[in-house]
Amino acid sequence: MDNHITIFDTTLRDGEQSPGYSMNQQEKLRLALQLEKLGVDVIEAGFPIASDGDFETVREIGKVIKNSSVAALCRTRKIDLERAVASLEFAKKPRVHTFIATSDIHMKYKLQKSREEVLESAVQAVEYAKKHVDDVEFSAEDASRSDPEFLIDIFTAVIEAGATTINVPDTVGYAMPWEYGQLIKTLNEGIPNIDKATISVHCHNDLGVGVANSLMAIRNGARQVECTVNGIGERAGNASLEELVMALVTRKNIMDYTTSVNTKEIFPSSQLLAQITGKGVQPNKAVVGENAFAHEAGIHQHGVLKNPLTYEIMTPESVGLTCNKIVIGKHSGRFALCKKLEELGYHLNKEDLNQVYLKVTKVADEKKVVEEHDLISIMSMMNDMPARQPQSMASGG
Ligand SMILES: [Zn+2]
């Protein structure tokens, strides 16, 4: 089995439809170009039937994106499909992504359709899409709460109809990793024509296991993961792209998979999204949070400055951050302070350093974090200290 994992980014669709993350066309175009630079294989650009704006945006994205596939989402209704197909008119690599719910609860209360009717709708939708594009993805919405036997039937039928990717969403973020892994295994072994399609997963993070579920799915045969930058998305969000990719990169020793993502574009992508939406990333967010590479405890700082591998499992440079951030706080030691002062151009002897250290810990008690400008003003207030040497003013970042 091929070990390449297709990264399907849905920041512009699932991410964008969550409260507070709506973007206008220009903003979506900027982000789409950044996603292409990031190296994602598929950009889900929108849900064209939702509005004329969404339709136009998918069309415009299709015009500018050259390397990534551009996907348009649609339900299985004819009018949805027509809009999706039309929106992809200019895309170099168009993908139609059609979906219908397959769980008993959704079929009964939302669709009011029987299993047979749902299966028939799915097959007709895929057949229609296949007449217009080669690349067709079918999603069984709420798959993790669907009867696996029915999933096998419907996936077998849509592959027969031409689907090249079958998606198994944990729409409501309900599955546990081992359970979800088992479902993927059951499908991989039970669908007779699975060799003609790629298994995809789409995990929500309601219980905080979106990435863990995606990794378990990969172990059990999934080769496409749907995810978003900064993990944004409906409710608690989707599996986070940066966490998934860096897990694969960092633990390659036990997970021998590849992706096309240029990890150095991870941080710039995260920052661009935050800047466009005005929604910052939580400071302790894995990989891209502002504290993800910050070390405040003195013993950690000492270790990291001597050798980053003491407390860092991946380097900040590998995700596009230029420098790890040493925060001077009350838990910092003299060693980190000395390094920080050197960066700022101050070279102190031990005695002076002790004096400054006492002053800094006082400020840290009041302010929690001592920033560069605090250090500079502390230094300027200290008498008999050596002057700053501007030539060595390297920025700490
Ligand atoms: Zn979703």
Distance 234 CA to ligand 1 centre (A): 6
Distance 15 CA to ligand 1 centre (A): 8
Distance 17 CA to ligand 1 centre (A): 9
User: Which amino acid belongs to residue 114?
Assistant: S
Q: How far apart are CA 7 and CA 36, in angstroms?
A: 11
Give the closest residue to 278 by CA, choosing from 12, 13, 27: 27
- Residue bearing tokens 């036997």: 149
Distance 135 CA to ligand 1 centre (A): 20
Distance 9 CA to ligand 1 centre (A): 11
226 and 6 in contact (C-beta within 8 Å)? no
| Alpha helices for the chain (secondary structure H) | 25-38, 52-64, 78-87, 104-105, 115-132, 148-161, 177-190, 210-219, 241-250, 266-277, 298-306, 334-343, 350-367, 372-381
pLDDT along the chain (397 residues), means of 10: 95 94 96 98 98 97 98 98 98 98 95 97 98 98 97 98 98 98 98 98 98 98 98 97 98 97 96 92 93 77 78 88 66 79 83 88 79 79 66 39
Domains, the chain, in order of start with CATH, read 6-277 (3.20.20.70), 294-392 (no CATH)
- What pLDDT, on a 0 to 100 scale, did the predictor assign at position 394? 39
Distance 165 CA to ligand 1 centre (A): 16
Distance 174 CA to ligand 1 centre (A): 12
- What pLDDT, on a 0 to 100 scale, did the predictor assign at position 196? 98
- What pLDDT, on a 0 to 100 scale, did the predictor assign at position 340? 82
Distance 333 CA to ligand 1 centre (A): 45
Distance 204 CA to ligand 1 centre (A): 6
Distance 198 CA to ligand 1 centre (A): 18
- What pLDDT, on a 0 to 100 scale, did the predictor assign at position 308? 77
What are the structure tokens assigned to 172, written together?
């409501």
Distance 87 CA to ligand 1 centre (A): 21
Distance 205 CA to ligand 1 centre (A): 10
261 and 42 in contact (C-beta within 8 Å)? no
Q: How far apart are CA 195 and CA 210, in angstroms?
A: 26
- What pLDDT, on a 0 to 100 scale, did the predictor assign at position 325? 58
Distance 140 CA to ligand 1 centre (A): 11
- What pLDDT, on a 0 to 100 scale, did the predictor assign at position 342? 83
Distance 314 CA to ligand 1 centre (A): 29
| Dihedral sign, Cα of residue 240, residue 243, residue 249, residue 252 | negative
Distance 238 CA to ligand 1 centre (A): 7
Q: How far apart are CA 120 and CA 130, in angstroms?
A: 15
3-state helix, strand, coil in the chain (%, to 5): 50, 15, 35
Distance 395 CA to ligand 1 centre (A): 41
